[in-house]
Structure 1
């Protein structure tokens, strides 16, 4: 099933209005529970690296198969309901793949604590958003972490879901969320997941290859729309995006850094180990709370441009088949 243009727009608006309230049923949370249970079945940390890799592939295939099957069954049931219920179900399913409002909400808790000069609370709130250790971060590095995670999440939390909803309908959107959620839960290069999570991490790299680059271009467009340094965004993205070990994260991060004239990257601590990330951008402007608020403006404008693009893709498909 392909999404109609108005269904995509309705899902986007619903995400802006409702966000991710805990009381509302949410398939991505169900996917998270499924991943936990599947990992308990497949993951044996004492097994050889080869067996762990094979188990990780089987784990990944099972989760994707179950999510895809459940989505197709749900959509099939919807087609037998009255049209208004069918449309409501499809819009709800698409809406649950988007994270614009929740990304703003969760990051704003950190910003509010910084505004109140409550560094310990800011570290605690940031720890819910990022995998890096936050216990000893000072204000500048907290802001840097905020800007980095929001800019990267523009791709995997907004642009990528809209892209896959446009090209693959609810099935495409939900499978993408399964792939992305597995990476966020097991795709780490630590002792526990180095081998078991290897395939999940590589699959996420493949799934995000196009959306990450698209996100960088859309961030340049958003910078132009907001009167920011779009030329700098384009230049820094082209210069610095491929410095990152990740094949994808550098594109939205570098574009955002260039648009705001800030420098991202540097030393982070993950699971007790210091990791030096490459520097992205130039240290023209200070990393203060103003940078975070500018990043939020960029995020919303980029999400709108991504919506326009996804609706255009859906409309083009509708015209082609109709």
Structure 2
């Protein structure tokens, strides 16, 4: 019972720390170390393993394995020193695995620039959080980019790490962050990474399979509490959840689009080329500041629902 109570306390405290303080940028951050490990491994693996897919599989196994082992060893060693030290180590790793506050802060820079009537600043702020070109976007398209980013990252930046934290503790949450970082660094479909990053991209899809669908359902349930359309969220989730090149990203985007009454997807420009993506949702309302504010409420509401449901489930069991 003590272990369960400690786990509950770690999860709740980590969520609160993230909400109040965001990323502890003045302290060592595991994701920075994960990125450095990936960069250090890439060159030697490419040189020593001619088959790039095999090299990519080794990169995935070594990176995730090392990150999980280091996190688990740190927690174990800290608990050997003192229960309080173990709790603090666990809490810190849990805290840095979550990103709701950071996602809100970075996307809010876009909304703030638009409120100030500064389109160039809004385009620049958006360029830091999306992969598409932003230099020629008008205000509705800028808002679409911000809404899509918050919706998608509610899945892989908020709900997924929280899901793995709840399921297996801080070490598993850090292992998930390693998977996510691998995908963001080598999971590209370009000449350099198509083969080498194949395993990382596919494993990221697998790791996000359940969390993405859970995120969609949580958004449906959270929508009425956030002053949004729960019925619309459910309808669009079912209809358009698979209208995306990613096997996972469409689910939170569809639920958000339905809750907000807006249409997402459509044309995006990448490296000078226009890519037509499937549309998600119906344009019942124009994309506006209210759309952005609504998707942020959905993010926080979904996170709160997951924590509450987990605590209630443990209490019932």
Same fold (TM over 0.5): yes
Residues 166 and 311, structure 1, Cα contact 8 Å, conserved in 2: no
- 1:141-290 matches, within 5 Å, as 141-290=141-290
Aligned to 1:30: 33
TM-score under structure 2 length normalisation = 0.94
Deviation (angstroms), 1:296: 0.9
Residues 186 and 196, structure 1, Cα contact 8 Å, conserved in 2: yes
Residues 162 and 310, structure 1, Cα contact 8 Å, conserved in 2: no
CA distance change for structure 1 residues 61 and 314 in 2, over 3 Å: closer, same or farther?
farther
Q: Deviations over 1:194-228 (max 9, x none)?
A: 12111111000100010000000000011021231
Aligned to 1:106: 106
TM-score under structure 1 length normalisation = 0.92
CA distance change for structure 1 residues 313 and 162 in 2, over 3 Å: closer, same or farther?
farther
Residues 5 and 312, structure 1, Cα contact 8 Å, conserved in 2: no
Give the match's secondary structure for 2:32.
Answer: helix
Give the match's secondary structure for 2:81.
Answer: coil
Deviation (angstroms), 1:135: 2.1
Runs of 4+ in 1 over 4 A off after TM superposition: 312-316
Higher relative contact order (CA 8 A, sep 6+): 1
- Greater CA drift, 279-288 or 123-132: 123-132
Aligned pair count reads 313
Q: How much is the aligned-residue C-alpha RMSD, in angstroms?
A: 1.8
**Which residue of 15, 19, 24 maps to 1:16?**
19
Give the match's secondary structure for 2:103.
Answer: helix
Q: Deviations over 1:182-203 (max 9, x none)?
A: 1111111122211211111100
Which structure 1 segments of 5+ residues have no match? none
Alpha-carbon distance in structure 2 between the residues aligned to 1:270 and 1:189: 13
Alpha-carbon distance in structure 2 between the residues aligned to 1:179 and 1:244: 21
